[in-house]
Structure 1
Amino acid sequence: MSTAAATPALALISDRINALEAPQTIEMAKKARALAAQGVDVISLSFGEPDFQTPQYIKDAAKQAIDEGFTFYTPVPGIPELRQAICDKLKRDNNLDYKPENIVVGTGAKQALANAVLALVNPGDEVIIFSPFWVSYEEMVKLAEGVTIRLEGTLDNDYKATAAQLEAAITPRTKLVMYSSPCNPTGAVWSREELGAIAEVLARHPQVLVVADEIYEYINFVGEHASLAQFAAVKDQVVTVNGFSKGYAMTGWRIGYLAARPEIAAACEKLQSQITSATCSITQRAGLAALQGGRSSADEMVAAYRRRRDLVLGLVKDIPGFKTPTPDGAFYIFPDVSAYFGKTTADGATIGTANDLAMYLLNDAHVAAVDGAAFGAPQCLRFSTATADEKLAEAFRRVKESLARLR
């Protein structure tokens, strides 16, 4: 046997990778697919992916780019016309004034987030994350060797962390704040007034930077979206991240972007140039067409998401023990399910955690949800509502019946 073969597997892998957790959203999706491959009728509500097709005019632009031979490397931060279109969009939708030099286009909003964290955080820096949070935030901070400080919102406030909490959490070691609005997983939306109060706190701490994740911007059920960078006093402290996957149903195209002051954008471009370089040239032309086409297709999808949200909220009201805030955006519900902890299944197993409950529902009801611990809320489960109405109705019928069998 060779020395390499005799070496324990974990010892072969770097400490930074061994320290990472696999995203629970992806892990649960794998388990659901494995069960479905056995012929089981699984309804997967685990993945945050629109079930709509990318609008045809965007597909047509990609086909045209291919036919025109637009198949070569592009500038690392994106083609100039796309970066200008992003500036135009930020002005139109968010009242933000940026130039192309402020924009870096990447392979999805996830890469934009990672670029920002790795470009800004030094080992030992504290990163305040509004909790519940998207599963990858903490893992990105781990890669940068930073220290995560969770700022936990309460159920009574729709899980939204407050300006007062932020003020109390900032220390001399604080380097960065991260949050999403609309929020994945809760669907919470911070109002302009709430963000204004947060901006007042940040203005008193100009050394603290913020990554504002706005990928669900268009999926908003309460009116105008507010961006933290709209507040002039803190604009230069904010890195705004957005993309095309949710609002334009372009998940597989892998395109997102960030907007930041020039030196931060340049640092992110420098990092990206050593890892992936520019994202796909064809995808960039598709993204340009998406922005030039406005948001009418997004608004049509949002009307469906609102209907589905209301449908699901009506269904879960009839499920005892679910404490479910009303999401104001995104396409999830995030109920507190701790009332089921301590209950037992028909074969005598005890439900001790939300992950136990998620596995029970997968195997008994054949409905896939995600453990809230992955999002910083171990008392919760996340269910995606981005699927057809009839599937949602059937899924929560199964969930209700399955939970009723617990004792």
Structure 2
Amino acid sequence: MRQTILDLEESRIREVANAGMGRSDVLAFWFGESDEGTPEVVRQAAMESIARGETFYAHNLGLPELREAVAQYMTQLHGPVAADRIAITSGGVNALMLAVQALVDAGDEVVAITPVWPNLTAQPLIMGAHLRCVALAPQADGQWALDMEALLAAITPATRLLVLNAPNNPTGWTLTRAEQQRILAHCRSTGTWILADEVYERLYYEPSAQGCAPSFLDVAEPQDRLVVVHSFSKSFLMTGWRLGWMVLPPGMAPQVGKLIEFNTSCISVFTQRAGLAALQHADAITAQVVGHLRRCRDTLVPLLQAVPGVQVAPARGGMYAFFRLAGQDDSLEAAKRLVLQAGLGLAPGNAFGPQGQGWLRWCFASRDPQRLQEGVRRLQGWLASASQL
């Protein structure tokens, strides 16, 4: 076994979840998914595909009709994107890993913006890269901000790849168009590739003519060293389907197709038929999902803000409330005790990097907002009990 693999940290989110799985009394908000099922029209498309016997291998890069539909979807949001720049993948995480495999050699320097979903920092390490992290900073109101000068100083001609996720999991931080333009111009000058995880772009709560967060695709040229990763998981309530896509520079897709062959071969046809149905009903599905998530956010955050010792701000994007809990400096320990003592399942902030220590992540994607209210009641009760010890 490679020492690099032995040295990888296990998921601290899973560590907390394992402590509470199987307990019917636990309110679980630890994973990044809604507790609402996939829309019927999407499930029906998959079932009809199976009934037709579409259970054979598919093209490495995905069904041509799905690649075309994704290209049209991206074009509506961000301007012209050709179908030959699209690769269909086994979820967003597979797309991210494929991009890192395609771009990073052992010994290469990779810069990542943190706190961030731990897969994004683990993947370069798996490839033997040297990882440098540039930290977002929490502001007094609970929002997080990027020190642009620190980021640009960290990206040099020796930097092979910049990895970023915006809207960000876990903080809800989102890049502005001006920030994207500065980052892109700087990476052009250094020859650095950008890997942009934009899977939460439709889960965006600020005013937007496009109905999504700012994307690097809005400011980049097709030939830029840019790979943008998306997923059906969040916006279409399809986490378990494992279906995503990549937007690549022209000419790169056939090379990624080779990597897909040696990783997963292809995505099942019936899963791709489900994705095609999701895109055909994208406006209705995403409008419903985003509207509901906004109501969930606006239910949870004011309740948390009313709890003494809690520092939190409404997320600009994503599906999480990331909050600091005064006096709870060990996030992992606090999350475990919340499960065991209060029946409340949250993700520890230090699962997303050392900058998240002392913070907790609460996924507010819940069908029933009363679950959120009950969760805050349990948090308050736990804090009151802890203060008596």
TM-score, normalised by the number of residues in structure 1: 0.89
Partner Cα separation in structure 2 for residue 210 and residue 174 of structure 1 = 10
Structure 1: runs of 5+ lacking an equivalent: 1-12, 342-351
Aligned match of 1:306 in 264, 289, 294? 294
Structure 1 residue 199: deviation in Å? 2.2
Report the secondary structure of 2:380's partner residue: helix
Q: Which residue of 1 aligns with 2:81?
A: 98
Unaligned runs of 5+ in 2: none
The residue number in structure 1 matching 2:106 is 123
* Counterpart position of 1:50: 34
Q: Residues 54 and 269 from structure 1, CA distance in 2 versus in 1: closer, same or farther, beyond 3 angstroms?
A: same
Partner letter of residue 170 of structure 1?
A: I
Partner of 1:383: 362
Partner of 2:327: 340
Asked if the contact 1:166/1:201 (under 8 Å) is kept, the reply is no
Q: Do the aligned partners of 1:243 and 1:255 also contact (CA within 8 Å) in 2?
A: yes
Runs of 4+ in 1 over 6 A off after TM superposition: none
CA contact (8 A) 2:184 2:220 kept: no
Corresponding residue of 2:376: 396
- The Cα RMSD (Å) is 1.7
> Are the counterparts in 2 of residues 236 and 260 from structure 1 also a CA contact under 8 Å?
no
Conserved 8 A contact 1:119-1:264: no
- The one-letter amino acid of 2:115's match is P
Alignment partner of 1:334: what SS?
strand
Deviation track 1:215-257 (CA, whole Å, cap 9, x = no partner) reads 1121111133211122135862110100101011011111001
CA contact (8 A) 1:199 1:234 kept: no
Match of 1:347 in 2: none
- Residues 1-150 of structure 1 correspond to what in structure 2 (within 5 A)? 13-34=1-22, 36=23, 41-95=25-79, 97-150=80-133
* Larger deviation, residues 148-157 vs 357-366: 148-157
More off after superposition, 162-171 vs 282-291: 162-171
Give SS of 1:119's match: helix
CA–CA distance in structure 1, aligned partners of residues 148 and 365 of structure 2 = 31
2-side partners of 1:235 and 1:373: how far apart? 37
Provide the secondary structure at the position in 2 that maps to 1:406. helix
Structure 1 residue 43, shift from structure 2 partner: 0.5
Instruction: Tell me the secondary structure at the aligned position of residue 116 of structure 2.
Output: coil
Within a 5 Å distance, the mapping from 1:211-222 to structure 2 comes to 211-222=195-206
Counterparts of residues 343-354 of structure 1 (less than 5 Å): 353-354=330-331
Partner of 2:192: 208
The one-letter code of the counterpart of 1:85 is A
Report how far residue 158 of structure 1 moved. 2.7
How far is 1:127 from its partner? 1.3
Residue aligned with 2:282, SS = coil
Q: Structure 1 residues 82 and 162 mapped into 2: Cα distance closer, same or farther (>3 Å)? A: farther
8 A contact 2:19–2:340 mirrored in 1: no
Matched, 1:249 2:237: yes
Q: Which residue of 2 aligns with 1:291?
A: 279
Aligned residues: 378
Equivalent position SS for 1:73:
coil
Highest RCO, 1 vs 2 (Cα 8 Å, sep ≥ 6): 2
**For the residues of structure 1 that align with 2:175 and 2:135, how far apart are their CA atoms?**
14
Give the whole-Å Cα distance in 2 for the aligned partners of 1:278 and 1:27. 31
Aligned residue for 1:133, secondary structure, equals coil
Residue 6 of structure 1: aligned partner = none
Greater Cα radius of gyration, structure 1 or 2: 1
The CA distance in 1 between the partners of 2:165 and 2:50, in whole Å, is 35
Q: CA deviation at 1:41?
A: 0.6
1:281 equivalent to 2:265? Answer no
Tell me which amino acid in the other structure corresponds to 1:70. E
Secondary structure of the equivalent of 2:133? strand
For the residues of structure 1 that align with 2:92 and 2:351, how far apart are their CA atoms? 19
Matched letter for residue 72 of structure 1: F
Instruction: Return the offset for 1:288.
Output: 1.0
TM-score using structure 2 length: 0.93
1:169 maps to 2:154: yes
Letter of the 1:256 counterpart:
G
Local SS of the residue matching 1:221: coil
CA distance in structure 1 between the aligned counterparts of 2:241 and 2:63, rounded to whole angstroms: 16
SS of match in other structure, 2:262: helix
Q: Does the 8 A contact of 2:195 with 2:228 survive in 1?
A: yes
